[in-house]
Amino acid sequence: MINYFREIFSGLWSLFVGMKVTFIEAFSPKVTVHYPYETLKMCDAYRGHIELIENEEGEPNCVCCMSCVRACPSGCISLTGEKPEGGKKKVLTSYHLDFTRCSLCSACVEACNFNAIEHSKEYNLASRNKEDFHFDLLARLRERNQ
């Protein structure tokens, strides 16, 4: 009989403790962000997909040395470049990133000696199509400059 009342008292006690927590949380300030109308500022350490960095003329800093391609353990970067007639260095013609395979390890950014790529702060990437995550970074750079 004593066990019976002890269990009832224990159940009521846990109920009152839970109601106390609920009551305190009901009147505390809310931290909800109403996405997409409000967004959070991303911290400096956030790493999104890579993007090309431009020089003063608006052209990419990339000299097609392929160090980022060799450094990438996922094999998600492909680029091509060609040397124009009478030119001294190669010119970037395409830079493709398969973000579905990228592990965001930052090996490509660290391997680049020409400050040509960096991680973006873009985090609003959502899609049901795999092809939406195949980026032409050279085209994205040109769109940003327009």
- Determine the residue type at 113: N
Residue 31 has pLDDT above 90, yes or no: no
What are the C-alpha distances in Å from 60 to residues 9, 39, 63? 72, 30, 8
For the chain, what is the total number of helices (H) and then of strands (E)? 4, 5
CATH topology (fold) of 50-145: Alpha-Beta Plaits (3.30.70)
- Determine the residue type at 115: N
The pLDDT of residue 42 = 84
Give CA–CA dist 79/53, Å, rounded: 15
pLDDT for 63-98, tens place per residue? 999 999 999 999 999 999 999 998 888 999 999 999
Residue 39 has pLDDT above 90, yes or no: no
pTM of the model: 0.74
98 pairs with which residues across the strands? 134
- Give the residue extent of every domain in the chain: 1-31, 50-145
